[in-house]
Amino acid sequence: MARNRVAIVGAGMTKFVRRAQETAKELAWEAASKALESCEMTLDDIDAVVIGTAPEAFDGVHMKSEYLSDGCGGWGKPVIRGYVGGGTGVFAPIQGWYHVASGLFDTVLVVCEEKMSSCQPHPQGAFLTIFDHTTERPLGPNLLWIFALEMNAYMTRYGLSKRDIALVSVKNKRNAADHPAALLGDPNITVEDVLNSEVLAWPVQRLDVSPVTDGAVAVVMAAEHVARRVTNKPVWVEGVGWCLDTAYWTNRDLSYPTYVEEAARMAYKMAGITEPRKQIHIAEPYDPFDYKELHHLEGLLLFDKGKAPEATALGITQRDGDLPVCPSGGLLGVGNPIAAAGLMKVAELFWQLRGEAGARQVPGQPKRGVAQAWGDLMQVGTVIVLGV
Amino acid sequence: MSLLERVAHPDQTKAWYGEIPIQNRYTAGIAGERFFREIKDHGRFWGVRCPHCDLIYVPPRLYCERCFAQLEEWVEVPTTGRVHTFTVVHIDLDGNPLPEPRIVAFIQLDGTDGGLVHDLGEVDPEDVCIGMCVEAVFKDPAERRGSITDIRYFRPVG
């Protein structure tokens, strides 16, 4: 199948904060205009707009992307919203990619926004109704139950301790201390801090979890002939993949994300990657919870099943390790404005691969990275491979 | 199949009642904050001008949706305008008749490229027409909360 080559040529983001005074539109505009500025483009140069944003309930606005559209640069343009829950932030650039790869458009502005602080008393309320209304909701489940059950299944399957997993939270929150947009960077956090934090639903504790966050991120995607004109450092989209597992969490192996593996295999095949452990230099897996980074690293085939914790303990996933993982600081450190958090990972790869990540720059001039997000009913994997 | 048969009574099928228990706390935003403060404190409207597109936005915005420039040229605009279009509402959301019909209009504010949707007051439905000149009537300063309902309604001028 003939496809046009697509590059990311610009990126921008707001600071990730606990409660933004800005409206959702204003946040989206700030990120979108920064992304355009970063590649010296204007709205006139943009052919189409892709908007990624998670549940309506967060912002409390139905038809949320229509509401957001002017802040995303959508006035008078073809606009589409993609939505795969928490997986949206990596799915939006995939949509941007096929808008351009198909030849339909030369330039696409991809904007992801989330304002979770609107949702009262806690955004988790938005998830109380994701469960089956007949078999599950009468029990009063909430989102933490899923994570706690998954985390316990993962720990028990591979004989892992809480300490093994807490190392991820420590790494990412420390990495985030170098991110100017981060909400929860902490250069001094320790494993003991994580282990001593409040138990929410065992084994999940407060510092195992990413924070409620407001923020927006945008990237500009362009066809090769435009990309080469706009920048001498285009970051190419080499592969994309996404996959949904069953909606019944009672019919999934909760200790392994098969759907991430399927999505990764699709993306790797497109990118011509046969040995991901050698060919991927940076990974930004989705880390709303510390164990999820480990889970996803295994799903991305970067470590054997159950072996990502050992690699973390050995320092392999540190910024200066053999495979830097979440050099941005991830959702645990930078923050988790759902859709925006996923696109933040893509923006991080963009900056890292261009050597523009400042204090966060991983050494050794990385050439290829993978970003991944996860969501929907905890059963979607979205994967993008970028390279220079 | 149940879909093909008429379910004459709700109790014939097993059912639960539930709700989506969400509340939201909205901010007025950077531009909205100033717009509503002016209404609350001074009973006046401010808009913001895009010099590039030569448009005055009311309600004001932080950015121009057309050229994406940040907008900083704040201008006071009249509290008068014209009825661009209107409707006369006779029933509430539950379908019950309203005690008095309610006139709702889109009012294009004078000297601007925008306007507000609001109630019309001090006028009978049969006397309203498109193009009619109207002015904002504000609540007493002590009653204002920095909300769009600080405007009581628009009424005909003269």
Q: Which residues of B touch A (CB under 8 A)?
A: 16, 18, 20-33, 62-63, 65-68, 70
Contact: B29, A36; criterion CB under 8 Å: no
Percent of chain A with pLDDT over 90: 87
Per residue in A53-68, pLDDT (tens digit) is: 988 888 889 999 999 9
Instruction: Kindly state the average pLDDT of the residues B71-99.
Output: 97
What pLDDT does residue B127 have? 97
| pLDDT surpasses 50 at A313 | yes
Instruction: Kindly state the average pLDDT of the residues A174-185.
Output: 97
Domains of chain A (ranges; CATH) run 6-120+211-387 (3.40.47.10)
Lowest mean pLDDT among A324-333, A336-345, B14-23: B14-23
Per residue in A283-295, pLDDT (tens digit) is: 999 999 999 999 9
Contact: A33, B68; criterion CB under 8 Å: yes
Lowest mean pLDDT among A229-238, A276-285, A343-352, B7-16: B7-16
Contacts of A158 (CB under 8 A, 6+ apart): A255, A305, A306, A309
- Residue B12 CB coordination number (10 Å): 11
Within-domain flag for B103: yes
Contact: A26, B68; criterion CB under 8 Å: no
Within-domain flag for B6: no
Please tell me which of the candidates A23, A60, A133 has its beta carbon nearest to residue B18. A133
Within-domain flag for B2: no
Distance from CA of B98 to the nearest CA of A (A): 27
| pLDDT surpasses 70 at B2 | no
Lowest mean pLDDT among A135-139, A307-311, B68-72: A135-139
Element (H, E) at A95: helix A88-101
B81 exposed, middle or buried (CB, 10 Å; 0-12, 13-18, 19+)?
A: buried
Mapping DSSP onto H, E and C, the string for A139-170 reads HCCCHHHHHHHHHHHHHHHHCCCHHHHHHHHH
Distance from CA of A297 to the nearest CA of B (A): 34
Contact: B22, A134; criterion CB under 8 Å: no
Mark residue A213 as left, alpha or beta (left: phi above 0; alpha: psi -120 to 50; beta: remaining). Answer: beta
Q: Which 3 state secondary structure label does DSSP give B135? A: strand
In a mutational test of the B interface, the residue from A19, A43, A61 whose CB has the highest number of chain B CBs within 10 Å is: A43
- Residue B96 CB coordination number (10 Å): 8
What pLDDT does residue A287 have? 98
What's the mean per-residue pLDDT of chain A?
96
Distance from CA of A30 to the nearest CA of B (A): 9
What pLDDT does residue A383 have? 98
Instruction: Kindly state the average pLDDT of the residues A96-123.
Output: 95
What pLDDT does residue B1 have? 46
Percent of chain A with pLDDT over 70: 100
Contact: A126, B22; criterion CB under 8 Å: yes
Between B18 and A310, where is the model more confident?
A310
What's the token pair of residue B55?
């448009």
Between β-strands B133-138 and B80-91, what pairing exists: parallel, antiparallel or unpaired?
A: antiparallel
Cα(B39)–Cα(B45) distance, rounded to whole angstroms? 6
What pLDDT does residue A4 have? 94
What's the token pair of residue B135?
């002015």
Per residue in A127-169, pLDDT (tens digit) is: 888 888 888 888 988 889 989 999 999 999 999 999 999 999 9
Within-domain flag for B141: yes
Cα(A244)–Cα(A131) distance, rounded to whole angstroms? 17
In a mutational test of the A interface, the residue from B14, B22, B52, B70 whose CB has the highest number of chain A CBs within 10 Å is: B22
Count of alpha carbons within 13 angstroms of residue A62, beta-carbon side: 1
Task: Kindly identify which residue of chain A lies nearest to residue B20, measuring between CA atoms.
Answer: A129
Query: How many domains are contained in chain B?
Result: 1
Within-domain flag for B4: no
Q: Which amino acid is it at A12? A: G
What pLDDT does residue B158 have? 75
| pLDDT surpasses 70 at A345 | yes
CATH number of the domain enclosing B66: 2.40.50.140
Per residue in B22-41, pLDDT (tens digit) is: 899 999 999 999 999 999 99
In terms of residue numbers, what domain contains B80? 29-156
Between A251 and B80, where is the model more confident?
B80
What pLDDT does residue B10 have? 67
Within-domain flag for B114: yes
Q: Which residues of A touch B (CB under 8 A)?
A: 20-23, 25-26, 29, 32-33, 36, 42-43, 57, 59-60, 70-71, 73, 75-76, 117-121, 125-126, 128-129, 133-134, 137-138
Task: Kindly identify which residue of chain A lies nearest to residue B61, measuring between CA atoms.
Answer: A26
Element (H, E) at A381: strand A380-387
Within-domain flag for B7: no
Instruction: State the angle between helix axes of A290-299 and A162-176 in degrees (0 to 180), rounded to the nearest 10.
Output: 100
What's the token pair of residue A105?
């458009």
Q: Which 3 state secondary structure label does DSSP give A210? A: coil
Nearest partner of A179 among A286, A326, A363, A32, judged by Cα: A326
Within-domain flag for B21: no
